[in-house]
Amino acid sequence: MAGRDKKEIPLLNLIQDLKDSRIDPGTIDKELRQQCIEVFLGEGYSVPSIAQIFMKCDKTIRRDIEEIRDRNGLVPSLDLAKKTVGEVVVYARIHRDHLMRLARSRDTSVSERAQAEYFAHRVDMEVVDKLQTLGYLPLKPKTIVGDFTHTLNVSDDKVIHELKNQLCEVERIASEGDGMTADLEQEVKQIKLRIAQAEIEKDILAVRDEQQKGENNG
Alpha helices in 134-181 (DSSP H): 157-175
Q: Which residues of the chain have pLDDT under 50?
A: 1-7, 140-155
Contact present, 94 and 120 (Cβ < 8 Å): no
CB atoms within 10 A of CB 24: 12
- Looking at this protein, which amino acid is placed at residue 146? G
Predicted pLDDT of residue 22: 92
Predicted pLDDT of residue 145: 32
Contact present, 33 and 53 (Cβ < 8 Å): no
Judge if pTM exceeds 0.95: no
3-state helix, strand, coil in the chain (%, to 5): 75, 0, 25
Q: What is the DSSP letter of 140?
A: P
CB atoms within 10 A of CB 60: 16
Total residue length of the chain = 218
174 CB burial (10 A radius; 0-12, 13-18, 19+): buried
Taking the C-alpha atoms of residue 173 and residue 175, their distance in angstroms, rounded to an integer, is 6
Predicted pLDDT of residue 42: 92
